[in-house]
Structure 1
Amino acid sequence: MLPGPPRRHKDSGSPLLLSTLRQPCVLVSILITVSFFLYFQLMHHKNSGSVSTVTPLDNFQHLHSHPVVNEEFMKSTRFVRSENAIVTSMYNDAFAVPIVTLGHSLNRVKSKARRIVFYLPGRVSERALCIATASGFEPYAVERIAAPGDGVHGHFADQFTKLSIWKFHELGVKAVVYLDADILVRRNFDELFALPFNFAAVPDIYVGEPGFTIGFNAGVLFVRTSATVFHDLVSQINTAHYRHWEAEQAYLNVFYGPDVARLPYIYGGNQAIKKRNPELWEALQPELRLIHYSLVKPFWRGVYNETGVEDMHENVLRRAEDWGGLWRDEIMEWGDAWRETEETYGLALSRCAWKHGH
């Protein structure tokens, strides 16, 4: 039998190739060539319209003009004022002006719901509470709910008291729309009280990373009141695992993680949207229910123990120039609402100053 070709292991490769790969310079050259190839392939996909590396909201396209709310459905719903409440919180005097302005903005849109401001006795002066309730909020004193023992930023130390809204069944309230005081209402949102869910909130948004998220912001919440839920919330503040420095927002995100109904952005006009995606912000305007002044607060003067009534207009002008004037229009809109509030409730506000001192 004639001898056959020399046998070779099927994975051993060509002797010439093996010899080439043993040369370090050649190997480095090959690696560089492959790297450039992959880079140009990536750039090709990016330039050809691929947007797989961004969220759909970063890639927002105005493809329709259909309404978010079904008005025909809303005409058939039953609304009982005493059972539905719009609630805000007051932990110190600095929020007297924004709360009375929030109340005025609710009056302008003719919301049918009750308005309640819960506050901490001893932390809020009588004068500030008088100012805050001048436009229609009912004052309701609550006990402070303590934050976890470590890691909570001082600014958020009282925020766990927000969990009190779950026990507002004691006031005959079955459904709550909670709004932080740094919100201005543009349009009526009473349709939220028709939601069949127990809890709903608006997805959060950050100027930088992570940008648009599925985690929610605790500045706007829909809650169906429940003594059982309130007990579960309060009893696990210190045992649940979450980032304490983000206070009640982080806690609620882990408590309700898979169970929250996420609301459209028209119910959470967070300033960060305008910075992150101006086109999306513009598209939201026709139906936007509220503006959340999360990054630049028109009323904020850096102090917690003053109401700020006396120089608020000057303060608004200063805040309008923050961030290079990015939110100038929105800041001035709040300033106009405050001016209307002064004109509409001027007598009541004067009585607050006279009765409780300046």
Structure 2
Amino acid sequence: MWIFSRYKDYTPLWTDVASLKQANRAHALRILAILLVILVSVWYNGYLIAKLAKKWPTPLDNYQQLNPNPLLNDEFYQSFKSPTHDETAVVTCMYTDSYATAIATLGHSLDRVNSTATRLLFYLPEHVSSEALCIATATGFVPHPVSRIAPPHNGEGTNKRFLDAYSKLNLWTLNDAGYKAVVHLDADTLVLRNFDELFALPYRFGAVPDVYVGSHGFALEFNTGVIYARPDTAVFRDMMEKMQTLSYDEIQADQAFLNQYYAASAVRLPYAYNANLAIKVRKPAMWEDLWKRARVVHYTLVKPFLAEADNSGETIVPMEGLEENIRARMGEFDGVFEEELLEWLGQWKETYAKYGEKLKECEGKVGDV
């Protein structure tokens, strides 16, 4: 054709026909080898996917309503002595004003189950207002200022919501105040039943295994929303030293650190002590059984006292707006948490009915905390 006429007098540089054929064969073999590798890879990945699809689920993913026995051994529970008030403590933490009403409600929920331990509120004086502290302590928590424990490496890699969370580690200094056993409850928890039996545990540390809505599912790692611990200042000093050099995923702050620090020595407590809302999404049948015996419910996915869907807590919901806020959030996750949100709302209403005058006095309060 005319478009190739310009090359009619072109002489190839490679005139050795045998060498040219050999080069073509080598090129063809390379292509075949690549295609073979691709085919083997596709086959092997298909094999693995098929194998995973047929993998027998864990007992939790395959949860069935089989076990009718109570959580605690009756003989032990009948002989159990209530813990000493001065030697045991329920502790929660407040790093921002937006959690004040949650802590007030948590305090009331402890009243409802006749909790016998001292109640301590760890708070950061530089981050909390007088008004918020007044609200949070209206139902029985004793204010206990603590120093902020900064995240290692200037917080690089730590979720911004958890930058103050390492301050929770001040729990281990409470032996200096005479406490022999403590239970820490995150401020987004609510107590449904008495858990005094935890104070009798002989172990150094215990927590409930975590659970995620996504593919991670039921995890070996524990969730630090509820912690049982025996305070020890020597352990605290050791933590502070090792935190700076320990290798772990820092995005979840204190939770990731404690999982690495206690690792194989942590006692995994039953899910009843930290009924994470994620369980209801992950395995509704398990939640149905769990709700009947849960000691503590953990509002992880939807926090009724916060306004934002991402639970950032940047907006403070006023006391008079809590019910409206809760009802506005009931549609989240296709409304699956309506019962649990109504439980929190009911306990908030009880809190306000009992402590309303005291809570009103807190509004507009200024001064040192």
TM value normalised by structure 1 = 0.84
Q: Per the alignment, in what secondary structure is the counterpart of residue 218 of structure 1? A: strand
1:213 alignment counterpart: 219
Q: 190, 212, 226: which is aligned to 2:232?
A: 226
Cα distance in 2 between the residues matched to 1:72 and 1:139? 37
User: Structure 1 residues 77 and 93 mapped into 2: Cα distance closer, same or farther (>3 Å)?
Assistant: same
Contact 1:93 1:125 in 2 (8 A): yes
Matches within 5 A, 1:339-350: 339-350=349-360
Quote the offset at 1:287 in angstroms. Answer: 1.0
2:85 alignment counterpart: 81
Q: Which amino acid aligns with 1:140?
A: H
Cα distance in 2 between the residues matched to 1:122 and 1:285? 38
Q: Deviations over 1:290-339 (max 9, x none)?
A: 11000110011244463632311110111111111111110111111111
2:277 alignment counterpart: 271
Cα distance in 2 between the residues matched to 1:91 and 1:355? 18
Cα distance in 1 between the residues matched to 2:365 and 2:162? 31
Cα distance in 2 between the residues matched to 1:125 and 1:335? 24
Q: Per the alignment, in what secondary structure is the counterpart of residue 131 of structure 2? A: helix
Q: 132, 143, 150: which is aligned to 1:146?
A: 150
RMSD: 2.2
Cα distance in 1 between the residues matched to 2:355 and 2:173? 31
Q: Which amino acid aligns with 1:62?
A: Q
1:133 alignment counterpart: 137
Quote the offset at 1:356 in angstroms. Answer: 3.8
Q: 86, 94, 98: which is aligned to 1:94?
A: 98
Q: Deviations over 1:19-69 (max 9, x none)?
A: xxxxx9xxx9xx99xx7xx98xx69x98xxx752x2110001111201111
Q: How many residues end up aligned between the 2 structures?
A: 319
Q: Deviations over 1:179-205 (max 9, x none)?
A: 000001110011110111000000000
Cα distance in 2 between the residues matched to 1:337 and 1:122? 30
Quote the offset at 1:112 in angstroms. Answer: 0.8
Cα distance in 1 between the residues matched to 2:162 and 2:234? 25
Q: Which amino acid aligns with 2:96?
A: N
Cα distance in 2 between the residues matched to 1:243 and 1:285? 32
Contact 1:99 1:132 in 2 (8 A): yes
Cα distance in 1 between the residues matched to 2:315 and 2:137? 17
Contact 1:127 1:356 in 2 (8 A): yes
Cα distance in 1 between the residues matched to 2:90 and 2:206? 14
Q: Deviations over 1:151-180 (max 9, x none)?
A: 112111000000000101122211110000
Cα distance in 1 between the residues matched to 2:315 and 2:257? 28
Q: Which amino acid aligns with 1:94?
A: S
User: Structure 1 residues 210 and 74 mapped into 2: Cα distance closer, same or farther (>3 Å)?
Assistant: same
Contact 2:130 2:365 in 1 (8 A): no
Cα distance in 2 between the residues matched to 1:146 and 1:307? 28
1:63 alignment counterpart: 66
2:295 alignment counterpart: 289
Quote the offset at 1:342 in angstroms. Answer: 0.6
Cα distance in 2 between the residues matched to 1:216 and 1:108? 27
Q: Deviations over 1:93-124 (max 9, x none)?
A: 01100000000001001111111111001210
User: Structure 1 residues 155 and 355 mapped into 2: Cα distance closer, same or farther (>3 Å)?
Assistant: closer
Q: 149, 152, 162: which is aligned to 1:156?
A: 162
Percent identity (aligned): 46
Cα distance in 1 between the residues matched to 2:365 and 2:165? 30
Q: 317, 335, 345: which is aligned to 1:325?
A: 335
Cα distance in 1 between the residues matched to 2:80 and 2:114? 17
Contact 1:299 1:308 in 2 (8 A): no
1:8 alignment counterpart: none
1:309 alignment counterpart: 319
Q: Which amino acid aligns with 1:160?
A: Y
Residue 178, structure 1, aligned to residue 184, structure 2: yes
Cα distance in 1 between the residues matched to 2:137 and 2:180? 22
Which structure shows the bigger proportion of residues in helix conformation? 2
Q: 176, 188, 191: which is aligned to 2:194?
A: 188
